[in-house]
Every structure is written in structure tokens, then in C-alpha cells.
Structure 1
Amino acid sequence: MLSPRRKAALLAGAVFLVLGGVAIHASPMSASVLEQRLQDSADDALYALRADEWARVEMNGQSATLNGLAPSRQARQSALQAVTTASWAGGVVAGGITEVIDQTRLPGEAESFALRLDLTGGRIRLDGLIPDAETGERLEAQARDVSSGRVDAEFRLAPGAAPAGWEPMVIETIRALGELDAGAGLVTRDRAALTGLAPSSAAARDVRRMFETAPEGFTAAALVRADGESYESRLSDPRLCELLIKGALGRRPIAFAPGRSILTGESRAALRRAGEVYAACLEAGELIIAVRADEPGDDGASLALMRGEAAAGAMAEAGVERSHFLAQAAPLGAPEAIQFTLTPVSVPDLATTENEEEQG
């Protein structure tokens, strides 16, 4: 049996543990209470500036993330400063906001408003811009319905950037992905493109039909096929074909051996898949492949050009004539490491040609 003194010590220890737990989870400085206090402070700071009309802030511990389409650079800077100073300073110990992550965008940047959707191994990933958090929740719910709950989402807010019909177009793309074994879709302000592998020829036809009627203001196309088959559609919209090529390339960047123009095996396979898509887009024009230089000067430009040629060669392996590709070297500091742009092939003016022949 325990002595009275030992019983008292055990009781005191139990009381100490209970009080400690209460202090951790219910005190004004607990993690959850602190995060909510900082959230409220940041929201109030944006409201005072009327920046809440375009900006949203989300706390993760003592780190704040600011999203939204800023009306100007000054408005963006003012909102960032307001969130930074929304609660007292002092770092982790004092309980203030320790970091503000800027994910805001400016009006000119809204032109690139786009959402990417990928289906791999039964899991759907949503990545890109959405108009508001509520829309994101609806899209996630729709994706869960067609993927048995296996969804990853990484959204950034751009209030006011989505046109009418955008959400229905995204939902239709999610539904179409649910009919495929694997695929990728991209939805911008006025176009939607889907490419992928269907479990059967009938399923591929069904998905193509889903994209035959798009919301008003949208142009849409689905390049899907069953294993061992080829794409049946032929497209002539350059911007739509660029989206399809981007989807077929996958999420990972095209990679070369350091200092050389040799593609990695994975990148070569991705480019071949993209070449199969481009084969259905030959009517849209020549494909320009611009590779960013890694270093300044002629050596950097020369290597970039060689890498562009290597990428074109890999895509041509899908059965496209090499003459349909044009490799270029993009300057150091270009926004994308490798960019694929379709440019319509110029058709000679027959009347002008006949006149020149007569004069000759």
C-alpha cells in the first residue's frame, strides 16, 4: 500500500499534469488561440484599409499568407505592411506575426489566370488560380466525388479574374477526368483543354462528347484515346493546342544533363507524348520551342539552341516531320525554362506569286 505521503505526491503530480494541459490548450498563448487572435488582427488590418475587398489572409501558426488580385503595386505593399504590423512584434516568444508570404497578383498578371488539373494513379491534383475560397471548396468536393476522396489542392486567390462560365467549365473537366485512367486538363479565362488515356474506345468517345459543348465564351477540346490508339481529333486553334501540349508534358520540368543537350529519359518520354498531341494540331501552325539560356554570352545561347533542337527531335519521334518545329534560344532571365508556342504558317498570296512569276 502507498503511504499517505506518496499518495499526496501522486495526486499533486496528476493535478499538475491536468493544469499544464489546460494551460497549453486553453490559455491565451496556446497555439490555437494565438493563431485565431492573429487571424482576427490581420483581418481587421485589411478591413481598415478596405483591402478586404480584394485580399484574403490565412494564418498558419504565426505565418500569414496574403492572396488576391491587387489593384496596384501600392495597394499590394500597403496590405503586406498592414498584415506585418497587425499584431505586436517580437517573434515567436512574444506571439506576433513572424512571416508574411506574398501570393498576391497585379491586374496585368490576371491574363495568365489558369487552373491545372491532373489525374495520376487515381488521385486528382488541382493547382492554380481561383476567384475565391468558396469556389475552391466546391471544386475540391467535386474532385473528391470522382476520385474516392483522393484529392490534393493548391489554390491561389485572384478575386474577380474568373469570367462567367469558368466554374462550370472546370467542373466539367473534373467529371471528364473521372472517366479516364490518367490525364491532364487546363482551364484559362476562355479555353479548356483535356488530354489523357481512357480505359476504352467508348470511354474516349464519351469524354470527347463532353467537351463538344462548352459554356458561352469558352473554346474547349479533349484529346483522349484508349491505349494503343491514336487521337482522332484534328485541331486548328493555336492557343488551345498550346494548352494541350502543356498538359501532355506533365508537371515535371523538362530536364537536360548539366551543361549538355542530352535529355533525361523521363523528359524524352514526356516530349514524345507531347509530340503525339502536336500531331493532332499540325493545322494550328509550326511549333516554336524556345529554351532559356543557363548563362550569358554565345556559349549559353548555343547550348540553349542545341537543347531546343533535342526537344524538337524527341517530339518528332511521335511521327511528326521535323520541318514542323523551330528551335530557338531564349535569353537569360526568360520567364520560362522552355516554352512551346504555335505560330500559324504563312500562306503565300497567290495573286502576288502569279504577278512575280509574270514579271520574271
Structure 2
Amino acid sequence: MNSFKLLQLNIFCRPKFVKTHGRDFRTFRLNELLKISPNYDVICLQEYFECKSNRKMLDNFMQRLELQGFTYHITGPWQGRCGAFMSGGLLLASKYPIVDYEAVPYKDHGYASDSLTKKGFLYAKIQFPTKAVQIITTHLQANYNTEKEQPRHQKSTTSQLTQLSAFIQSNLNHELPIILAGDFNIDALLDEFETPGSPPESLRRVVEYYDSDLGRFKGTIRHQNMPAIGNRVHCTQNYTNMIQILNCLEKTYKPQFDIPEQQSSGEHLDYKLVDLPLEYYDGHPVTFGDIYVINGKIEAREKHLTGDKCQCSCQRLDYIFTYQNKGFEYIEARVLSGFVRGSTKQLSDHYGHEVEFVL
């Protein structure tokens, strides 16, 4: 085996009594996921909440996933006797042996509704025929996008990222490939797309099809299955901070892409971490609250699962990172929009990522 394919997705499987617009279509969406899951060797899911109201549905899903060859899987982190209301909502499933694993809860377990779950990360060392690969999936504290909440969100995510970074530094084998995949709830695009429902003028510098001479859009900013794309050079301070914290390996390297001379912080960062979708698309791809722009008018790409206030917000919250390692490359790092054929429904309110790695 010379390559393997990984899927990362926030599957949006909350407890049955939590709904966005009356129905979340959880069983329907899990069945649709099972139609494409045979295409992958490793699957990392977030918001896979194991609680009483989801038990029967998720047990059925896991049984069918095992029949597809995903005989190795871990979930969690799990709540203690006096702990959170639900598990951490993470699933890491593999067709190849998991030879080492840990489910680690964050010391800062978050706030608001996130505090009802056991926030943390899953680590698995997967033994492929030619090489072992270390994979971590996580789901950080949600950002409710209010000005008053920002200091609390930054405090929680910084604490969680610092704990994750320390684990990578101290517990993993840096001679083996390391992959970080998950919903980090840190937006790289907020400064570019500004606020939800912002007018097309605020998208000029990041929209591929904007005709500056004519002063209007030539068409949609999407083509085929590509998401809306943000600027490579500009990124938010929170994204910059995340990269700085996760750049924890002692060995540095020159990334395959050119480092911008100026980041939003005004500092020149020594990137040791590769943001694979950023590199593949040459810009930050939207993964939540995507849009169409047709004849200068913004339309929400998804309306069934995404809350009204989050529609058209054009956020980049989901990531797949790796540390450069000789003999470990990727072929493509596509964003999976997940629209179900013959339906306006997506697999989730988030887009996923699918990456094929070469061992």
C-alpha cells in the first residue's frame, strides 16, 4: 500500500432534542455518509455525540461501518461519573490496525453548551503496511461570535491548543508522520468576509470571479465543488496564534509555499506546520456558512442545518494539518461540500476535508 485516504468531517449529530430548523435529518445524513465512507481508509468525525438519545442510531451506524472494513475505532473522550453530560463527540475509525491510542480531555472544558460535553482530542497510531502514521482529531471550543464573548473564547482555545501542542511535543514520535484533523472553531476568514450577510463589495479582494473593471461579479464564486476561497496572505490574528502554538516540533523546515512577508500580526512566522487545504487551494477555503454570489446577490449555500445568523458568514473553521516529513506527502486536499445527490441537504452544516496521503 503506497497511499491512504482520510476523511475529516464535523457530522453534526447532536442529541435528538437539539434542533436548528425543526429537523436535523441525522439518520438520513449518516446513511448518506455510509454511501461514501468505503472510499476512505481513515475517518475522523466531530459532533458524533454518544448520548442516550443517539445510542441506537450510532450503534447501527457503527455496525454498518464495521461491515465496510472499519474494524478499528476509538471514540470519546468519555465523561467521568461527575463529568460532562455527553462524550467529547469524536470518532476515529480505521481499516488498518490502531496500535496505540489515547483519549485526552482538555483541562479547560469550555463554557456555555460546550461545557456539557467532554471536550478533548483522540490520538491514534495507525499501522499501515509500509509505515505507521500518528493521527489526532479534535473539536475546540465553539465561538458564538459576540464581541463580549471573544476574550473567553480566546482563553479557552488557547488553553486547549497549548495542551494539544504539549502532547504532540512530549508524546509523539517526531520521526513518524503526524496529522491533525478537526473542527478547530478558529476562523481564518472573518476579517475578509466581515459579517454574516455582508454585501458583495466586501468580498471583492477574495472572490475569483469579480470583474474590477466592470465593478460587478462575472458569476458565482464557486465552480464545480470548490468552496468560496479567501486570500492566502491575509489571515485573522486567531488563526496566526493557532499556527504559532501548534508549531511545536523542534525541527524546522522550509514550507512548500512562500511565507507572506506580513501576517495580520505584523510578524514574520516560521511555519513548521502545513495547512494542507490552504496549500492545495492557494487560499483559505470556506467550510461553514458558504455562499453563492449570482449577479451580485449573495445567497446561502445551505439553509436546512445552518442557523439563520450563521448563513452567509463564510467561515473557515475546519482544518487538516501535518508536519513536513520526508517520505510523507499528499496528492490532494479537497474540501468535501457533501451535498446529497438529488437534494438540497448537505452531509452536515460544515464541509469536510478529504486528503490522500502518499506513504
Q: Please, what TM-score do these two structures have when normalized by structure 1?
A: 0.33
Compare relative contact order (CA 8 Å, sep 6+) and give the higher one, 1 or 2: 2
TM-score by length of 2: 0.33
**Structure of larger gyration radius:** 1
By percentage of residues, which structure has more helix? 1
